């Protein structure tokens, strides 16, 4: 067991010695994106494993260690960690935990403190918890993000968005089941290998990869029979995590639908844009605002290149730009409404409806008050202006049964399929 080192506030640190022989566990949220991030961290010398444990055991572990008034994503993330630690699979004297920390008003900023409290309750407070953040919080001598690693992770997010976007549009129609999943694995490995060299982060190489990925997915044999397309929006964890939404995408596929899930890039730009809006509304450092504007422009440029690559193939539906999506919410709420998913959640629903996808599942986790306001709370306003909007809000919490959730979605789908049959 490595010698434990604490900071002046008594926080257990992840040391350079721990980097050599500790396994760092990461909770699951976006399977494709996080798999690539895991490989990026491994290339930087970290021994990392993304957790795949799920089922009722995770929920029960969360209920054991987290107060049941806390938001459901916190319960699941901490439950997944605690269930893994109690599984006997890991040497607890050589295990660390990694969790993101936004530093914003959402309770997600406090997951790390709830996790440390759970470890103390379980007698495992000798396990270090590492914060992955860009706000300078909870620094650790053994966990430092190099420029190369940061760039790798940003590119992994963008490439992950493209891969998931294309896979979702191929999987429901593929002639050979599993082709899309095999293509995902191929490109995960191929892209991460490129991250060894900084030259592969050039704009030219980036555009070439986007074109090659899209070309490969377009070459997968499919039958283009029309199917009902169903959008998935909601709180970010429940929206993306199969553990959080009870494998919602698989359920929709089994119901003969095509799941449509807005990408992570919009959320990243949204978070950058929040910093810009904060200074406009509340005041602040104008130089910081200019830096954020440059960063937003950079990410938006990458997004536009992704859109251009997809737009070359008429069988694929390209997403809209952040600018186009954000403009849809102007008549509904102000840009300072940014807690949780803020105005972006409403904008995503409006964008889906406006692009011929009126059938939407809005995933509502227990305890996420902002999400209920900008999600469920805006459905009536959207319907007032878009009578064809067929939106169902589904509550996800420890007491909600999967069968009840799926039955409510089936009611929404029955309306969707009826309208679809009528043309």
Strand segments, DSSP code E, in 224-358 are: 228-234, 257-260
pLDDT digits (tens, 9 = 90+) for 159-186: 999 999 999 999 999 999 999 999 999 9
Q: Is the model's pLDDT at 134 over the cut of 70? A: no
Asked, colleague to colleague, whether 16-143 and 228-263+319-421 share their fold, the answer is yes
pLDDT digits (tens, 9 = 90+) for 217-232: 999 999 989 999 999 9
CA 371, CA 239: separation in Å to the nearest integer? 11
pLDDT digits (tens, 9 = 90+) for 324-351: 999 999 999 988 888 888 999 999 999 9
CATH number for the domain formed by residue range(s) 16-143: 3.40.50
User: Mean pLDDT for the chain?
Assistant: 91
Determine the pLDDT at residue 378: 94
Token pair of 128 as six digits: 């270090």
The residues facing 395 across adjacent strands are 364
In the chain, what are the domain boundaries? 16-143, 228-263+319-421
Determine the pLDDT at residue 319: 96
At the top level of CATH, which class does the domain 228-263+319-421 belong to?
Answer: alpha beta
CA 364, CA 72: separation in Å to the nearest integer? 9
Q: Indicate the pTM of the whole model.
A: 0.93
Q: Count the Cβ atoms, other than its own, within 10 Å of residue 175.
A: 9
* 357 within 8 A of 230, measured Cβ to Cβ: yes
Token pair of 356 as six digits: 């011929």
CA 83, CA 52: separation in Å to the nearest integer? 11
Token pair of 352 as six digits: 């889906």
Q: Is the model's pLDDT at 136 over the cut of 70? A: no
CA 141, CA 7: separation in Å to the nearest integer? 11
Mean pLDDT of 304-311: 97
Determine the pLDDT at residue 193: 87
Helix (H, G, I), strand (E, B) or coil at 310: helix
Contacts of 96 (CB under 8 A, 6+ apart): 14, 18, 22, 23, 24, 25, 127, 128, 129, 130
* 341 within 8 A of 236, measured Cβ to Cβ: yes
Mean pLDDT of 92-119: 84
The residues facing 131 across adjacent strands are 99
pLDDT digits (tens, 9 = 90+) for 346-397: 999 999 999 999 999 999 998 787 888 899 999 999 999 999 999 999 999 9
Determine the pLDDT at residue 132: 82
CA 175, CA 36: separation in Å to the nearest integer? 27
170 or 150, greater pLDDT: 170
Q: Is the model's pLDDT at 104 over the cut of 70? A: no
Determine the pLDDT at residue 107: 66
CA 406, CA 411: separation in Å to the nearest integer? 9
Quick one: how far is CA 178 from the chain centroid? 23
Closest to 365 in 3D by CA, of 238, 232, 231: 238
């Amino acid at each position: 067991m490595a010698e434990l080192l604490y900071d002046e506030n008594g926080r257990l640190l992840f040391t350079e010695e721990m980097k050599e022989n500790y396994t760092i566990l990461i909770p699951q949220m976006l399977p494709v994106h996080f798999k690539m991030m895991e490989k990026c961290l491994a290339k930087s010398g970290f021994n990392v494993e993304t957790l795949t444990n799920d089922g009722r055991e995770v929920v029960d572990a969360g209920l054991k260690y987290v107060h049941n008034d806390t938001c459901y994503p916190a319960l699941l993330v901490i439950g997944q960690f605690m269930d893994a630690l109690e599984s006997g699979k890991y040497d607890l004297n050589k295990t660390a935990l990694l969790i993101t920390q936004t530093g914003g008003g959402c309770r997600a900023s406090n997951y790390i403190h709830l996790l440390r409290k759970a470890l103390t309750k379980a007698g495992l407070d000798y396990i270090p918890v590492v914060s992955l953040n860009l706000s300078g919080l909870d620094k650790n001598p053994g966990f430092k993000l190099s420029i190369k690693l940061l760039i790798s992770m940003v590119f992994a997010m963008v490439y992950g968005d493209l891969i998931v976007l294309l896979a979702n549009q191929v999987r429901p129609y593929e002639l050979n089941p599993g082709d899309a999943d095999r293509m995902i694995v191929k490109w995960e490995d191929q892209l991460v290998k490129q991250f060894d060299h900084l030259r592969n982060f050039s704009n030219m190489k980036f555009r070439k990869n986007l074109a090659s990925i899209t070309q490969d997915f377009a070459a997968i044999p499919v039958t283009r029979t029309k199917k009902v397309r169903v959008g998935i929006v909601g709180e970010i964890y429940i929206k993306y995590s199969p553990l959080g939404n009870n494998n919602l995408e698989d359920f929709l596929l089994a119901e003969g639908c095509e799941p449509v899930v807005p990408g992570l890039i919009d959320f990243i730009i949204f978070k950058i844009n929040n910093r810009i809006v904060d200074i406009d509304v509340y005041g602040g450092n104008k130089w910081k605002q200019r830096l954020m504007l440059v960063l937003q422009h950079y990410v938006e440029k990458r997004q536009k290149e992704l859109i251009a690559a997809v737009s070359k193939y008429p069988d694929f539906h390209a997403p809209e730009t952040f600018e186009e999506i954000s403009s849809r919410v102007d008549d509904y709420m102000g840009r300072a409404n940014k807690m949780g998913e803020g105005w972006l959640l409403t904008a995503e629903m409006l964008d889906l409806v406006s692009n011929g996808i009126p059938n939407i599942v809005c995933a509502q986790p227990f305890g996420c008050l902002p999400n209920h306001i900008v999600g469920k709370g805006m459905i009536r306003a959207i319907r007032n202006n878009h009578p064809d909007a067929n939106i169902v809000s589904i509550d996800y919490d420890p007491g909600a049964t999967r069968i009840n959730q799926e039955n409510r979605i089936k009611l929404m789908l029955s309306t969707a399929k009826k309208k679809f049959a009528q043309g």
